[in-house]
Amino acid sequence: MSVSIKSAREIELMREAGRILANVHEELGKALKPGMSTMDIDRLGEKLIRGYGCIPSFKNYNGYPASICVSVNDEVVHGIPNKHRILHEGDIVSLDAGVIYHGYHSDAARTHAIGKISPEAEKLIQVTRECFFEGIKYAKAGNHLNDISSAIQAYAESFGYGVVRDLVGHGIGEHLHEDPEVPNFAQKKKGIKLVPGMTLAVEPMINAGRADVAWMDDDWTVVTDDGTLSAHYENTILITEGEPEILSL
Ligand code: MF3
Ligand code: CO
């Protein structure tokens, strides 16, 4: 396993990739409304990404057919956009997007409400976002990877939520997925020591019910096994000498 340390020039490119991706998410979030199809979101997302001079990194990645992963309600991640899948008031929708800017990746996800949603759904979205911020409190040089993982799990479970085990965050840079893996749950080993210049995609995937997930017949869409709602929140971060820099916010 080798974890790359980014140079000043690489960090500059990843900052720009992250800045662009943050804008894409903001614009996608504003565009969401009942009656839209998940395919409409993908079309708009791809147009925005290309409009910024970037490449949508998910498109054709291991055969994934779209630019934006759109996962509705009990879908955890990797939902495939479909023109027949219409968003309705009360749904929650997780959007995951990745961009490549001058050869460097940024990866981020947000879960949004469609119109008015239940207080339970509202809480799940909020806590999932907070899980990310709890985790990155420990994303400091000298700490270990498992400090992040453990903090995310402890926070999520304090609300009775299930932390998805089958998918994890990851290093990121010249590639969408680099070492190390960044689990959202505690490991037996403390993991690598964090060093300035490491760039990580930290991405809690949190279920309202149990942690177990299943794969749909399309071989992509991951759903909660018990049918409960799931939320996702992800940013690309940079380890520094002090506080982590959140590149995609
Ligand atoms: N954010 C996800 C990840 O980090 C999405 C990539 S899956 C893709 O792994 F295949 F759609 F690209
Ligand atoms: Co990711």
2 in contact with ligand 1, CB cutoff 6 A: no
Instruction: Please tell me the distance between residue 170's alpha carbon and the centre of ligand 2 in angstroms.
Output: 6
Quick: pLDDT tens for 12-22. Answer: 999 999 999 99
Instruction: Please tell me the distance between residue 78's alpha carbon and the centre of ligand 1 in angstroms.
Output: 7
Instruction: Please tell me the distance between residue 123's alpha carbon and the centre of ligand 1 in angstroms.
Output: 25
Residue showing tokens 């947000």: 110
d(CA 74, CA 229) in angstroms, rounded, equals 4
Quick: pLDDT tens for 162-184. Answer: 999 999 999 999 999 999 999 99
Nearest to 169 by CA among 220, 219, 235, 214: 235
64 in contact with ligand 1, CB cutoff 6 A: yes
239 in contact with ligand 1, CB cutoff 6 A: no
Nearest to 74 by CA among 235, 206, 201: 206
87 in contact with ligand 1, CB cutoff 6 A: no
pTM, entire model: 0.98
Give the tokens for residue 46.
């791809």
All residue ranges of the chain with pLDDT < 70 are: 1
